[in-house]
C-alpha cells in the first residue's frame, strides 16, 4: 500500500506538526520576522519547537496513536472490500 507523503489521516507526525505550528503561532507570533544567520535561526527554531512540544498534554500523543490504529484498520478493511469486486 502506498501512502502519500502528506497524509494527515494516515501519518501521525502530520497531526503532531499541526499542533506544534499552532503553539508556535501562539507563543512566537513574530518568529517569521527573525533575521540572522542560518545557524542562529536554526537554534532559535529548535528551542521554540522544543518549548512548544513540551506544552502538550501527553494524552494527545496517546489519542493520536489510537486514532492511527483505527484509521489503519479501516484502510485494511476497505482494501479487502474493494478487492472482492
pLDDT of 21 over the 60 cut:
yes
Q: Identify whether 50 is part of a domain.
A: yes
Q: Identify whether 38 is part of a domain.
A: yes
The mean pLDDT value for 33-46 works out to 88
Secondary structure (DSSP) of 32-50? GG--S-HHHHHHHHHHHHH
Give the predicted TM-score (pTM) of the model. Answer: 0.56
Q: Identify whether 2 is part of a domain.
A: no
pLDDT of 3 over the 70 cut:
no
Q: Identify whether 69 is part of a domain.
A: yes
Q: Count up the domains in the chain and report the number.
A: 1
What's the confidence (pLDDT) of residue 10?
62
Q: Identify whether 7 is part of a domain.
A: no
Q: Identify whether 5 is part of a domain.
A: no
Q: Identify whether 31 is part of a domain.
A: yes
Instruction: Kindly give, in sequence order, each residue whose CB lies less than 8 Å from that of residue 42, ignoring residues fewer than 6 positions away.
Output: none
Q: Identify whether 66 is part of a domain.
A: yes
The mean pLDDT value for 52-72 works out to 79
d(C-alpha 71, C-alpha 25), whole Å: 29
What's the confidence (pLDDT) of residue 31?
85
Instruction: Decide if 52 contacts 16 (C-beta within 8 A).
Output: no
Q: Which domain holds residue 69?
A: 12-84
Amino acid at each position: 500500500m502506498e501512502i502519500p507523503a502528506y497524509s494527515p489521516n494516515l501519518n501521525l507526525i502530520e497531526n503532531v506538526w499541526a499542533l506544534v505550528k499552532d503553539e508556535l503561532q501562539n507563543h512566537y507570533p513574530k518568529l517569521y520576522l527573525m533575521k540572522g544567520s542560518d545557524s542562529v535561526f536554526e537554534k532559535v527554531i529548535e528551542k521554540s519547537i522544543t518549548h512548544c512540544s513540551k506544552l502538550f498534554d501527553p494524552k494527545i500523543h496517546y489519542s493520536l496513536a489510537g486514532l492511527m490504529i483505527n484509521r489503519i484498520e479501516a484502510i485494511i478493511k476497505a482494501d479487502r472490500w474493494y478487492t472482492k469486486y
